[in-house]
Amino acid sequence: MKHSILDNRPELSSAILQIAETAGYLWEKGWAERNGGNITVNITEYVDEQMKALPAISQTRAIGAFLPHLKGCWFYCKGTQKRMRDLARDPMANGSIIRITDDCAHYEIVADQAVAPTSELPSHLSVHDYLLGKGSPYRASLHTHPIELVAMTHCRKFMEKDVATKLLWSMIPETKAFCPRGLGMVPYLMPGGVELAEATIRTIDEDYDVVMWEKHGVFAIDTDIMSAFDQIDVLNKAAQIYIAGKNMGFEPEGMSEAQMKDLSETFGLPK
């Protein structure tokens, strides 16, 4: 067996295994064509002193933004151009661990292989910076291309604030129960850019855990990667139910306002 940074680090290994498992689900769902989608997880809490002393295996590279709350932070990142289905099998060959340098504007790779991180790193790291700044317990962010949710963003009406949220919540009670903040909308912007990162944070700041990138994909945050996946999964399931109704030739009725209100009260869901 080849030596790995995960050796003798059971907590770190289990966090990475959870990422690999999630990557497999993304592929099985049909949401991860080719290299589509990316994952980053803040793994700082699993990094011991010995790991902190390890040398970088890459040059120091610019993030493209100054992110003050990321000082001393460590992340697992999917590699750019790497496939989720490959990551599921071998997370350390299709992703890497990076540490943020003390100037909060650069990173270096400290991992088994110098796999360059995802092209969506500006969005992911800016969001992690925002979350830490707020004292949030969220440590994981997930971007993926779920078919039905992306299809909905091709319709003007669904891009209006909370139109899609209300529709999706009303398809099946679990949607609001497990994605209680709904679905924020970000108008189309170039993938991988700082503008997309800024728009994503603005939308998350309106109190969404899941945001749609118009005609592209979805970006979700949660405490861990499996929970971020679950929020997208329940939303996309609701979209599939809506589409199934439309395909049967009718406009799905949806739960009533009274039923939605009752659900929110019973589950104590956020306003």
Minimum distance from CB of 37 to ligand 13P (Å)? Answer: 5
Closest residue to Zn ion in the complex (CB): 217
Do 172 and 124 form a contact (C-beta atoms < 8 A)? no
Q: Rounded to whole angstroms, how far apart are CA atoms 141 and 40?
A: 5
Minimum distance from CB of 142 to ligand 13P (Å)? Answer: 11
User: Which does residue 119 bind out of ligand 13P, Zn ion, none, counting CB within 5 to 8 angstroms by kind?
Assistant: ligand 13P
Contact pick of 119, 136, 240, 264 for ligand 13P (by CB under 6 A):
119
Contact pick of 42, 100, 101, 120 for ligand 13P (by CB under 6 A):
120
What tokens were used for 136?
């949030």
Establish if 227 lies at the interface with ligand 13P (CB under 6 A): no
DSSP 133-160: HHT----EEEEE--HHHHHHTTSHHHHS
Cα separation values, 1 from 7, 38, 93, 271, Å: 11, 28, 14, 52
Of the pair 122, 182, the CB lying nearest ligand 13P is at 122
Q: Within 10 Å of residue 74's Cβ, how many Cβ atoms?
A: 21
Establish if 191 lies at the interface with ligand 13P (CB under 6 A): yes
Of the pair 171, 221, the CB lying nearest Zn ion is at 221
Do 216 and 187 form a contact (C-beta atoms < 8 A)? no
DSSP label at 172? -
Catalytic residue, chosen from 21, 45, 49, 120, is 120
Q: Which residues contact 17 (CB under 8 A, 6 or more apart)?
A: 91
Establish if 35 lies at the interface with ligand 13P (CB under 6 A): yes
User: Which does residue 60 bind out of ligand 13P, Zn ion, none, counting CB within 5 to 8 angstroms by kind?
Assistant: none
Is 120 part of the annotated catalytic residue set? Answer: yes
Q: Segment 76-95, which members bind ligand 13P (CB under 6 A)?
A: 78, 80-81
Catalytically annotated residues: 120
